Amino acid sequence: MRPALWLCPVFALALGAQDADPKYMGVQARLDYPIGDLKDASGPVGLGLSIFLEHQLEDGYAVRLVGGMDVMGKGLGGGLTGDDRARVFHFDVEGIKFFRPDEDPNLLGPYLVAGVGAYGWELTRGGNSTRTVRWGGSVGFGYRMSTSVDAEIRGHYSSPESGFNAASISVGLGYRF
pLDDT value of residue 80: 45
Beta strands in 11-60 (DSSP E): 25-35, 46-56
The three-state secondary structure class of 10 is: helix
pLDDT value of residue 78: 46
Q: Which residues of the chain have pLDDT under 50?
A: 1-3, 7, 10, 13-14, 17, 20, 77-80
pLDDT value of residue 105: 79
Q: What is the per-residue pLDDT across 115-125, written as a single tens digit (0 to 9) for each?
A: 999 999 998 87
- Of 43, 113, 47, nearest to 77 by C-alpha is 43
- Class of 21-176 in CATH: mainly beta
- Of 48, 46, 50, nearest to 27 by C-alpha is 50
Angle at the Cα of 86 from the Cα atoms of 137 and 35, rounded to 5 degrees: 60
pLDDT value of residue 21: 56
Q: What is the residue extent of each domain of the chain?
A: 21-176
- Of 31, 93, 28, nearest to 66 by C-alpha is 93
> What is the spatial distance between Cα 174 and Cα 66, in angstroms, rounded to a whole number?
12
Q: Which residues touch 167 (CB under 8 Å, ≥6 apart)? A: 34, 35, 36, 37, 38, 155, 156, 157
Before 44, cis peptide (omega within 30)? Answer: no
The three-state secondary structure class of 86 is: strand
pTM: 0.81
> What is the spatial distance between Cα 28 and Cα 12, in angstroms, rounded to a whole number?
19
Are 163 and 130 in contact, with CB atoms under 8 Å apart? no
pLDDT value of residue 6: 52
What is the Cβ-side half-sphere exposure of residue 105, based on CA atoms within 13 angstroms? 2
Write the DSSP symbol of residue 59.
T
